[in-house]
Amino acid sequence: MPQSFPIGIKIVKEDDPFPKRVIRPSRYGIQVALCQWITLARRWGWIVGATAEDINCTPCLAGLGLKKLLDRAVLIRYLLEMGYCDSQDVATTLAEEVQSLEPGKVKGIVAFPLEKAPMSPDLVVVYGTPAQMTRLTIGYIHNHGRLVRSETGIGLSCLSTLMPFWKQEPGLVHPGRGERTYAGTDDSEMCFSIPASRFESLVDGLEKTEKKRIRYPFQGYLLYQPRLVPPMEALGKDLVEP
């Protein structure tokens, strides 16, 4: 029961032709944060695409390798200036943790509601509440027996959302500061990103666990007698049979 369209994402490589059907920011004479454009796909139902020339979010350009950092010191300075780290040492440690894509590995992305898919996706991404993400995770685990992991830190939701394609394992993404600011992602939302090659097994797992009564919304247990607070107990002493 997601409140926005489950979307497919196609990762456009350097030698791939960029599809003509997609709506790009240049149509409106603007550059955007990539997460903005993904929101158009999942909330407005548009088929959208973007390359480096369409994006002005500099962390996204660096993280996805759409543009190349001069050196690692630039990232360390950025982490300090943004207030993510308390010291040079902490920023250096965090910079080593960030797994950016190799420059040139990605040319751009196309995002679209699954029901309008103009091509086969590389990833399927579903936004929803933490409880909905739990339900998807249970569906995946049923056939694979592997935990679904999440890396949360300085944002870069775009990188975290695409990374499952290279890892060939699903991931839970906690949208960061930038996505919540620029793309309007709600406080209650996170997303589940899974390689398209594993999506069929996820659906199978959801169907099988549904038969085992693992359902969403999760059912709270109600067959117990609640304890009354003192004012309620006192009221009971003044109640009589009609």
Specify whether the CB–CB gap between 196 and 120 falls below 8 A. yes
- How high is the pLDDT of residue 99? 85
Q: Got the DSSP string for 83-144? A: TS-SSHHHHHHHHHH--PPPTTS--EEEEEEGGG-SS--SEEEEEE-HHHHHHHHHHHHHHH
pLDDT tens for the chain, residues 1 to 242: 899 999 999 999 988 888 788 999 999 999 999 999 999 999 999 999 999 999 999 999 999 999 998 888 999 999 999 999 999 999 999 999 888 899 998 999 999 999 999 999 999 999 999 999 999 999 999 999 999 999 777 778 999 999 999 999 999 999 999 999 999 999 999 999 999 999 999 999 999 999 999 999 999 999 999 999 999 999 999 999 99
The pLDDT score that the predictor gives to residue 155 is 73
Least Cα distance to 74 among 64, 63, 56, 86 occurs for: 63
Dist. CA 151–CA 156, nearest whole Å: 10
DSSP 8-state assignment for residue 39: H
For 38, the 3-state DSSP assignment is: helix
**0.75 exceeded by pTM:** yes
Q: What is the pLDDT of residue 18?
A: 82
pLDDT at 234 (0 to 100): 96
| CA 5/CA 41 separation, integer angstroms | 8
Per-domain boundaries in the chain: 7-68+103-211
